[in-house]
Amino acid sequence: MRRVSLLLLAALVLAGPAVADVYTINPFDPQPPAKIALPPDEAARLQALQSAVYTWFQGDLSPDDRAVLVYDALRGLSMLDVRTGAKSPSRTSSTRSSG
């Protein structure tokens, strides 16, 4: 046990000092954040990441292993094609004919 403790202590000491970037902010002279220009593909990727919509599975995988019923706040209930990732509106009980 003593040997393990010494090895851990030596690893921490030999790992080197911690380094941090320190930025000072003057509250009396606020500056707007710097504008960062991204290439179009990176800007599109950032937009997609920031506009993520959470999806909840509402059923099991279909018998042909191709689709599953999902819910998200933008589209409501929809069928998710597992292979392509495309969503299509699901058929609800209100579209069935009564009779």
Whether the predicted model's global pTM rises above the 0.75 cut:
no
pLDDT category of residue 28 using cuts at 50, 70 and 90: confident
Rounded to the nearest 10 degrees, how much is the dihedral formed by the CA atoms of 52, 58, 60, 62?
A: -80
Domain extents in the chain: 40-91
| Higher per-residue pLDDT: 39 or 54 | 39
